[in-house]
Structure 1
Amino acid sequence: MTCLTDGEPSATADTDTDTDTEGELLLRVLTAFLREDVSGWRTRSTPVRRGDGLWLRLPVATRERSRGAALLMPVLDDGYQSTYAARLPLLRREPGGAEFVDTAGVLAALRDLADPVDRGGFEAFAVECQQELDALRLHAGTRREVESLLSERYGVDPGSWTGLAGGLGYDTLAARADHPVYPTSRGRSGLGIAQLRSYAPEFHPTFALRQLALPREAVTVGGGTESWLSPRAAGAPALEGSHLVLPVHPLTADGPLRDALRTAGLEGRAYLVDCPGPDVVPTLSMRTVALASDPTRHLKLPLATATLGLRNRRTIKPGTLTDGAAGQRLVEAVVDREPRFRGVILHADETRFAHAGHELIAVLLRRYPAGLEDAVVVPMAALMCPAPGGDRLLIDHLADRFHDGDTLALLDATLALLFDWQTTLFAHGIALESHQQNISLVLDHPAGGGGSGGGAGRTRLRLLFKDNDGPRVNLARLRDVMGQQAPARTEFDDRRIFVDGDRPVLDVFTTITLHLCAGSYAFGLARHGHAPLERLLRLVRERLAEAVERLGTAPGEPGALLRAHVLDAPELPVKAMVTAGTLLSKERSGAADINKHYTTGPNYLRHDHPRQNYPRRNYTRPTGTS
């Protein structure tokens, strides 16, 4: 979350734009609170029809207020993970008619209703919202500057940015967009404007890493080689043989590193090398940077900040490095068993890492597959972003190049492959935390496939995955399918990965693959007028149903489970991200994993789901767009 510090100028914004920014944020916050039943808005409120539309009435009687006191929220029918969404950025108090029209006022009012032990969470979220507003204003004030930089570096047509280098441009666009559900997704805790402009992906900077020399015996190295940690390569040949050199992000080196070394028992034994490290460019995940000299190699480095909730820290626990490598081996074993996915489902190599037993002294070397130089490699998180220089979406530019301008054809092809792969994983008892940031579309016209632009010739679509450290695995099902090839529990560090039964696996499949990687595009494209929502949701359902049928739908088979618990279920699991990430402590929320804490919402895939009143207004359009 952007935190403006003393002496730093804020981005200029006129009064109307500033009001719009505040209002858009409040709409997202109120909708998130509805979805997650914060303060009982979903379970304790009553629908009330008034002259201007539908309101929800929440009784707020306390010792200080009469029994008839209430808060009212204006809402409309939604359907994407929540029955209703906020339609106006306000809460109204009755009796009296006082209105709260900004996030600070709304959160103060709801804080007063909360259990005293939970009020600190509302105060923390109020800070998070203010920091989000700072980020939104900064993004709005720098949009033209950044778009000009990207066009100059990668070309004026964003549908033609190629290779892993061009993918960094797409990361910048995605960093300036809103998360499909988390209302304050653009912020990063504790960072000022100068730090963001120097290191955050939304500004596309290039900077040099720092380098930390550590005694060799203090470092755990995964991947079977230490050559990439060589002191000689780092410009410190005198340390060759006695030390290893780990790259360190400047924000860590200049801040919390000293305390981390002290905690790890390395104070006085480790030190920063004078020679600067390699130049890098930040990716969408700010803690991961690409080597400027070789964008096929990324370094994941811990940062003492948080995104998507104050408890969602961007450090790197050493155990996650082990889990990522084990997760990669597992999904590669599935590809080997399913020949149709070979060369179609791609994975970054994440088997090389190093750490010194502390979450701020660690590094992952991510290596991408070769041969992608002429392909477009675009993270799914960027598809719905406004393209530079106009009002069209990035997905439309990609459709121009690869599907003769048919955006729905591109979505169709993506859903077909995505569901085929993810349901196959489910049949093995596996669900990946493969959200929009962790999947990239790889689009190209292979040799012999015809022309190279405007959709001419055969288009090839592949999916590129990364970050396999947080799956859920039903080990019993996996062993039934893979036998001796199934991994042992000891291959993973996080005990939460292996689960008893299919329910936790279904939860991850639904909240990640369905909601974030399919449903969000149906609702988003409908908001932008690409097609009626009913048609887009029918496409999602049909492609998922086809994948389910391939698994077999006899009782007890994986397809039957997906049909019953996803396609035909009256309700679906929904992530309660604000609740687990900021508002409530783990003790109060009961969340064993803040990224896998759920409530429920309507099933928009059912044929009987009411969708006729779906709003056309795009509440989550990035600030500064039309």
Structure 2
Amino acid sequence: MTAPLDTAEDLGAYPDGGADEEAELLRRVLSALLREDVVGLRSRSTLLERPDGPWLRLPADPAAAALLLPLGEDGYQSTYAARLPLLVREADGARLTTTDDVLAALRALADPADHEGFDAFAEECRQTLATMRLHSRTRAETDAELTVRHGSDPGAWSGLSGGLAYDTLAARLDHPVYPTARGRSGLDERQLRSYAPEFHPRFALRWLALPRTAVTVTGGEAALPDFWPTPAALGLPHLDGSHLALPVHPLSLGGPLRDALRETGLEQDAVLSERALLSAVPTLSMRTVAPDADPRLHLKLPLATATLGLRNRRTIKPRTLIDGAAGQRLLETVLAREPRFAESILQADETVYAHAEHELLAVLCRRYPAGLDGSAVVPMAALLSRAPGGEAVIDHLAERFYDGDPLALLDACLALLFDWQATLFGYGIALESHQQNISLVLDRVAGSTRLRLLFKDNDAPRLHTARLRETLGDDAPDPAAFADPRIFADSDRPILDMFATITVHLCAGSYAFGLAREGRAPLARLLGPVRERLAEAVERQGTAPGEPGAALRAHLLDAPELPVKAMVSAGTLLSKERSGAADINKHYTTGPNYLLSPGTCR
């Protein structure tokens, strides 16, 4: 038997995951599979100490060889992460250094019922690797395009138009948790260049004329934007009295659209206009586009693709439109009772939408607040991305608004974010407001920096039924106002789990660990403000037994472990029957609590 790697000299021969895209991807994939205990990587393995550091030994099944994984300290959502981008097969010392080889070896240890999921994830990795390499090849041309359109100083990009440029940068940055987030199922290079936000393209929408009787429009047709084309404007004048036009993303044309029309019985009555009309730019979510005709309006359109997992389809179920509007009304109710947030928390309006009872025949008309033209509108997902010139977005913003101190910017953001989210928890509300769904709105008023937070896409909150009734009384929403019954819970636990996995991990912890990896400051110093600002917000909610702050403190600040999303398992590797996930975006494992005390942070 060939001995596994156990010397620093041997390890030095391996790629470090920096310049090599496959090494970078493989390290992230291995770390995610370890975190989620795929095929027992955590629970069935033995920890080995070797001269170069710790390794895990995953024992062999009768038909497969034992595997060895080199470990490094993590601490973010797992105690360990993959130290190097490889597995070693113990029997012959073979070094598996591609995602295909690694997933094939792990697939051999998986239940046969899960083999299809492993095959799908391997393809997801191939797509992501191709996209990462495409991003590397096109970085310079994209930076040049952004500079031409928006200016040479990324810190000065302003308004919702500037926000689209920040979206482009964010789309080229890896997700803090999901390892293949840059991949999009089934799209080739031409399609990515034409429609993906990382290329900042412009394209025209297609339009489908549907019988008015088949389309539900909230507020009636008069609520639709002024630029909404009539069938006549689309070259279909004979349908003006009977049909209403719905926009269609070009990527949903062909088979997906034909299937949708057949499933709804509309294939004989629907007419696809040959005219492409309304130029638009994709936002970070890709399926949402910003039309040139109205800078304050974004259109969310169904896409027949998937991101963040094979089962995380980018279509739009009509029920999510209902829930988004109901969620917005609930937050408006809370804001009316919490005047101290009146000037600092902004919401996009998501009450106008249309659908024809199918997830590919729908549109959301998202309208942003007025008065943002002079502000920097930056999705949180863009803060650590690289702007043209190589400097991080957070540094450009800090230079403009926080005397060059990015940690001061982050601290101010966390103070407001935790205060608002803890206040919502006091009402029994947790938002799925991850980095993509929150934008920082920065400007200067009377010589001082003003920071506001802009929220969108609140269609999948978690709501504690009893706490809502206790705090809002007659203003509490009727559960029947929401279409998805999974939104409501009869205890704090689901609400706390969402608070931890979304607000704490994605919107706070990821920045501390990300900046520490860049050598900006020691991790303990970066985690200190996260812990302190969260503790301040918790205290405001009251920490006596039975008060909301007591539950927040016990579950977030004092718990030995925190919930962690098992996104790969629920999203691709395992079927819902195998994973037991009622909702693939809210399926959890556990990881270390990096908020416990300064002594636990290294």
Q: 1:561 aligns with which of 547, 551, 555?
A: 551
Query: Corresponding residue for 1:119?
Result: 115
Query: Corresponding residue for 1:461?
Result: 451
Query: Corresponding residue for 1:439?
Result: 438
Per the alignment, in what secondary structure is the counterpart of residue 93 of structure 2? coil
Q: CA deviation at 1:294?
A: 2.0
Give distance in 1, aligned partners of 2:229 and 2:22: 50
Query: Corresponding residue for 1:304?
Result: 304
Maintained 8 Å contact 1:234/1:245 = no
Q: Which amino acid aligns with 2:369?
A: P
Distance 1:18-1:347 versus aligned 2 partners, 3 A rule: closer
Bigger RCO of structures 1 and 2 (CA < 8 A, at least 6 apart): 1
Query: Corresponding residue for 2:262?
Result: 262
1:231 maps onto 2:230 in alignment: yes
Q: CA deviation at 1:60?
A: 1.6
Query: Corresponding residue for 2:139?
Result: 143
Moved more, 237-246 or 521-530: 237-246
Give distance in 1, aligned partners of 2:521 and 2:219: 48
Maintained 8 Å contact 1:172/1:203 = yes
Q: 2:71 aligns with which of 68, 75, 78?
A: 75
Query: Corresponding residue for 2:393?
Result: 394
Query: Corresponding residue for 2:9?
Result: none
Q: CA deviation at 1:96?
A: 2.4
1:489 maps onto 2:479 in alignment: yes
The 5-angstrom pairing of residues 102-117 of structure 1 reads: 102-117=98-113
Give distance in 2, aligned partners of 1:16 and 1:279: 43
Query: Corresponding residue for 1:243?
Result: 243
Q: CA deviation at 1:589?
A: 0.1
Q: Which amino acid aligns with 2:426?
A: A
Give distance in 1, aligned partners of 2:34 and 2:21: 20
Per the alignment, in what secondary structure is the counterpart of residue 572 of structure 2? helix
Maintained 8 Å contact 2:281/2:290 = yes
The 5-angstrom pairing of residues 27-106 of structure 1 reads: 27-62=27-62, 64=63, 70-106=66-102
Maintained 8 Å contact 2:232/2:238 = no
Per the alignment, in what secondary structure is the counterpart of residue 81 of structure 2? strand
Maintained 8 Å contact 1:234/1:277 = no
Query: Corresponding residue for 1:576?
Result: 566
Give distance in 2, aligned partners of 1:133 and 1:224: 45
Maintained 8 Å contact 1:301/1:364 = yes
Per the alignment, in what secondary structure is the counterpart of residue 343 of structure 1? coil
Q: CA deviation at 1:431?
A: 0.3
Per the alignment, in what secondary structure is the counterpart of residue 388 of structure 1? coil
Maintained 8 Å contact 1:82/1:601 = yes
Q: Which amino acid aligns with 1:395?
A: I
1:352 maps onto 2:352 in alignment: yes
Q: 2:502 aligns with which of 491, 498, 512?
A: 512
Maintained 8 Å contact 1:552/1:559 = yes
The 5-angstrom pairing of residues 225-624 of structure 1 reads: 225-226=221-222, 227-228=224-225, 229=228, 231=230, 234-235=233-234, 236-390=236-390, 392-446=391-445, 449-450=446-447, 458-607=448-597, 610-612=600-602
Give distance in 2, aligned partners of 1:401 and 1:288: 29
Q: Which amino acid aligns with 2:452?
A: R
Q: Which amino acid aligns with 1:181?
A: V
Maintained 8 Å contact 1:163/1:375 = yes
Q: CA deviation at 1:579?
A: 0.1
Residues 534-579 of structure 1 deviation map (CA, whole Å, 9 limit, x = unaligned): 0111110000000000010000100000000100000000000000
Query: Corresponding residue for 1:6?
Result: none
Q: CA deviation at 1:222?
A: 1.4
Per the alignment, in what secondary structure is the counterpart of residue 176 of structure 2? coil
TM-score by length of 2: 0.95
Q: Which amino acid aligns with 2:395?
A: D
Maintained 8 Å contact 1:568/1:606 = yes
Q: CA deviation at 1:255?
A: 4.2
Q: CA deviation at 1:161?
A: 0.3
Residues 89-124 of structure 1 deviation map (CA, whole Å, 9 limit, x = unaligned): 111121321221111010000000011111111111
Moved more, 602-611 or 591-600: 602-611
Distance 1:482-1:46 versus aligned 2 partners, 3 A rule: same
TM-score by length of 1: 0.91
Query: Corresponding residue for 1:616?
Result: none
Residues 133-172 of structure 1 deviation map (CA, whole Å, 9 limit, x = unaligned): 1000110110000000001110111111000000000000
Q: Which amino acid aligns with 1:152?
A: V
Aligned residues: 584
Per the alignment, in what secondary structure is the counterpart of residue 440 of structure 1? strand
Give distance in 1, aligned partners of 2:17 and 2:385: 19
Q: Which amino acid aligns with 2:284?
A: L
Q: Which amino acid aligns with 2:591?
A: G
Give distance in 2, aligned partners of 1:167 and 1:415: 20
Give distance in 2, aligned partners of 1:543 and 1:163: 28
Per the alignment, in what secondary structure is the counterpart of residue 295 of structure 1? coil
Q: Which amino acid aligns with 1:41?
A: L
Q: CA deviation at 1:528?
A: 1.2
Q: Which amino acid aligns with 1:82?
A: S
Q: CA deviation at 1:239?
A: 3.0
Q: Percent identity?
A: 70
Q: Which amino acid aligns with 1:591?
A: A
1:189 maps onto 2:185 in alignment: yes
Maintained 8 Å contact 1:18/1:137 = no
Maintained 8 Å contact 1:230/1:240 = no
Q: CA deviation at 1:275?
A: 3.3
Distance 1:471-1:47 versus aligned 2 partners, 3 A rule: same
The 5-angstrom pairing of residues 11-22 of structure 1 reads: 20-22=20-22
Maintained 8 Å contact 1:436/1:517 = yes
Residues 41-87 of structure 1 deviation map (CA, whole Å, 9 limit, x = unaligned): 1111121110111111111231x36xxx5211001111000000101
Query: Corresponding residue for 2:218?
Result: 222
Q: CA deviation at 1:611?
A: 3.4
Give distance in 1, aligned partners of 2:126 and 2:205: 30
Query: Corresponding residue for 1:198?
Result: 194
